[in-house]
Amino acid sequence: MKKAVQRILTLALLLLFASTVLASGAAGLDAEEAMKKLMDGNRRFVSESYDRGDIGPGRRAEISKGQRPFAVIVDCSDSRVVPEFIFDQGLGDLFVIRTAGNIVDDIAIGSVEYAVNHLGVRLVLVLGHDDCGAVKATVAGGKAEGHIDAILQAIRPAVAVARQQPGNLLDNAIVQNVELVVRRLQSAQPVLAQALQTGDLKIVGGVYRLKEGSVDWRLPQPLQQSPR
Ligand SMILES: [Zn+2]
């Protein structure tokens, strides 16, 4: 009986903690503030006026007590697309999921859910990039060796949509792939879909330009354009 009461009390405390985290948001930032922080960071990156983010011993000591990232980035594993550099952020700022072609499976979606539910993150950005090898390989067609084919399979629906569109097939497929992943996350039940319904969460898309260093904000209804 005593153990049961203890368990209930522990559960109540955990729920209280979780609701406090959710109410305050990660790092105290809501989706709009988090978006602004990413955009400002990208502007600094493009204009070479970096803060370089906080990666010093003081920051390490601070975040050793717990992480409070302000955004989730679902990004391509491509070595040229490094979120902390692109958005000029430091340690503990971004919760990053990287796969070739910035696609998501159940484990990646679970990682996003963890950041939203347990770390209180309010903004998820799916970030594609131009000249993406994974999308290029899918556009080229055929079957890839080993587990690589699973990546191509995930991107194929985006390429199929892009084939119906006018303009450059690869560029369109890259945008479609970002949109597909955004929609997949938006409809992921129960955690993400419900968080979106309450208006606590935003899931947006963008395409990073390798040469320019800028991000074209794609979805949904961009707040503003990135500088060119
Ligand atoms: Zn890529």
Whether 97 maps to a domain, the answer reads: yes
101 alpha carbon to ligand 1 midpoint, in Å? Answer: 5
136 alpha carbon to ligand 1 midpoint, in Å? Answer: 9
76 alpha carbon to ligand 1 midpoint, in Å? Answer: 5
Whether 224 maps to a domain, the answer reads: no
Whether 168 maps to a domain, the answer reads: yes
193 alpha carbon to ligand 1 midpoint, in Å? Answer: 26
State the pTM of this model.
0.85
Whether 173 maps to a domain, the answer reads: yes
99 alpha carbon to ligand 1 midpoint, in Å? Answer: 8
pLDDT at 212: 97
**What does the alpha-carbon distance between residue 131 and residue 62 come to, in Å, rounded to a whole number?**
38
Domain residues for 8?
2-219
Residue 164 sits in a domain whose CATH number is 3.40.1050.10
Cβ atoms of 124 and 204 closer than 8 Å: yes
The number of domains in the chain is: 1
Whether 225 maps to a domain, the answer reads: no
223 alpha carbon to ligand 1 midpoint, in Å? Answer: 24
Whether 228 maps to a domain, the answer reads: no
Averaged over successive runs of 10 residues, the pLDDT of the chain (228 residues) comes to: 55 46 61 96 96 89 96 98 97 98 98 97 97 98 95 97 96 96 96 92 96 85 37
Angle between the N-to-C axes of helices 169-186 and 106-118, in degrees from 0 to 180, rounded to the nearest 10? 50
